[in-house]
């Protein structure tokens, strides 16, 4: 389907909407933020519904969106104190979640206009150059994200990037899923499984301590399917810091290989999501900061727990945590990662 107009940015630039369709799966992506604005899949009775949260207008994505569906970077998740050191030089970043930098700063990739290199019925490729010094990060970074539908029920995201100076990089898609349908209310009844034996505990500002702790015997044990609501109110300081789940899990298996990361089922509709990725970690976020101020396309407000994110990524604050796998990208190297969202019914 040809690209269609989605709106004009506050500074007068046109933004397009790209609709991908294959079989029973329909996906909408916009140039702004390289963001997914809709994923439409059927329930067990065959009735389709959009299963990601979003906003009606481009102005909403520019001004109030909590990264709905966006490609965030240069560094997804948090960097402690808005600073990191690389090759003996300290880089300072804008602090947008005091005292830390979140998702690369207030003008991160999710707040930028991308260029469509290719757009057809089953694939859109978006790219941009992040200039040296953007949001404090070193190096000119050429980044590309591809959304494709390789088969019915599968949305695949491929990332690629190169740099002309050593830099740090962490890219993810920040879709908020509600498998009952956008605007359907709480997702805390969704049943989740995460392919991880350890998770990264944080301090009170949600910066990882650098340790990886066993999930066994904790509210973070999703090794077998469990409803989000089962332990989200457990008296665990980790849950109190984040107001719910907002934690990194170390995925089983070698990074760089496409492997299962998580699954999620809505018992009511029967919709199932399986997440596969080549990334080393997964951030499970239960939409804790949705506070009733945002209204979705359904014309219903979004409240805490109305969406769940499965952010496949590198480890947060890895530039400051030598115990975590490196997130450094150097000239001559190519960053490559892939994530698949696979939809079915049970």
Please provide the DSSP assignment of 181-202 as one string.
-TTS---TTSEEEE-EEEEE-B
Q: How many CA atoms lie within 13 A of 67 on its CB side?
A: 26
pLDDT in tens, 131-179: 999 999 999 999 999 999 999 999 999 999 999 999 999 999 999 999 9
- The reported pLDDT for the residue numbered 216 is 98
Q: Is 98 helix (H, G, I), strand (E, B) or coil?
A: coil
pLDDT of residue 119: 86
Catalytic residue among 134, 135, 182, 311: 311
Residue pLDDT, tens place only, 217-231: 999 999 999 999 999
Task: Give whole-number Cα distances, 245 to 107, 209, 230, in Å.
Answer: 25, 16, 12
Q: Is 174 a catalytic residue?
A: yes
Query: DSSP 3-state assignment of 115?
Result: strand
Tokens 């690629």 label which residue?
160
| Residue tagged active-site, from 18, 174, 190, 247 | 174
* 18 is an active site residue: no
Q: Enter the tokens of residue 3.
A: 């690209």
SS (HEC) of 24-81: CEEEEEECECCEEEEEEEECCCCCEEECECCCCCHHHHHHCCCCCCCEECCECCEEHH
Over the chain (346 residues), the average pLDDT of each successive run of 10 is 90 97 98 98 98 98 98 98 98 98 98 94 97 98 98 97 98 98 98 98 98 98 98 97 98 98 98 98 98 97 98 98 97 98 98
**Phi-psi label, residue 294: left if phi above 0, alpha if psi -120 to 50, beta otherwise:** beta
Question: CA angle at residue 155 from 38 to 141, to 5 degrees?
Answer: 90
């Amino acid at each position: 389907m040809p690209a269609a107009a989605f709106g004009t940015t506050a500074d007068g630039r046109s933004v397009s909407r790209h609709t991908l369709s294959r079989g029973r799966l329909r996906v909408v992506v916009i140039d702004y933020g390289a963001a997914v604005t809709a994923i439409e899949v059927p329930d067990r009775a065959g009735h389709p519904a959009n299963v990601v949260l979003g906003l009606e207008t481009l102005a909403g994505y520019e001004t109030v969106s909590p990264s709905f569906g966006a490609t965030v970077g240069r560094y997804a998740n948090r960097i402690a104190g808005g600073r990191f050191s690389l090759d003996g030089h300290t880089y300072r970043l804008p602090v947008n979640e005091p005292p830390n930098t979140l998702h690369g700063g207030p003008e991160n990739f999710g707040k930028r206009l991308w260029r469509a290199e290719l757009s057809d019925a089953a694939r859109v490729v978006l790219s941009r150059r992040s200039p040296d010094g953007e949001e404090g990060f070193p190096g000119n970074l050429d980044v590309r994200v591809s959304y494709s539908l390789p088969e019915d029920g599968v949305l695949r995201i491929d990332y690629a990037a190169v740099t002309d100076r050593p830099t740090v990089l962490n890219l993810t898609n920040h879709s908020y899923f509600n498998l009952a349908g956008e605007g359907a209310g709480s997702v805390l009844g969704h049943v989740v499984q995460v392919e991880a034996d350890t998770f990264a505990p944080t301090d009170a500002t949600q910066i990882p301590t650098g340790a990886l702790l066993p999930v066994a015997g904790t509210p973070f044990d999703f090794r077998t399917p469990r409803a989000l609501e089962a332990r989200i109110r457990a008296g665990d300081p980790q849950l109190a810091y984040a107001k719910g789940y907002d934690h990194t899990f170390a995925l089983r298996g070698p990074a760089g290989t496409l492997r299962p990361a998580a699954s999620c089922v809505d018992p009511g509709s029967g919709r199932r999501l399986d997440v596969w990725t080549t990334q080393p970690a997964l951030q499970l976020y239960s939409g804790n900061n949705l506070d009733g101020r945002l209204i979705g396309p359904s014309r219903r407000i979004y409240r805490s727990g109305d969406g769940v994110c499965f952010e496949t990524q590198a480890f947060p604050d890895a530039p400051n945590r030598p115990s975590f796998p490196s997130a450094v990208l150097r000239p001559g190297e190519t960053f490559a990662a892939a994530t698949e969202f696979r939809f079915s019914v049970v």
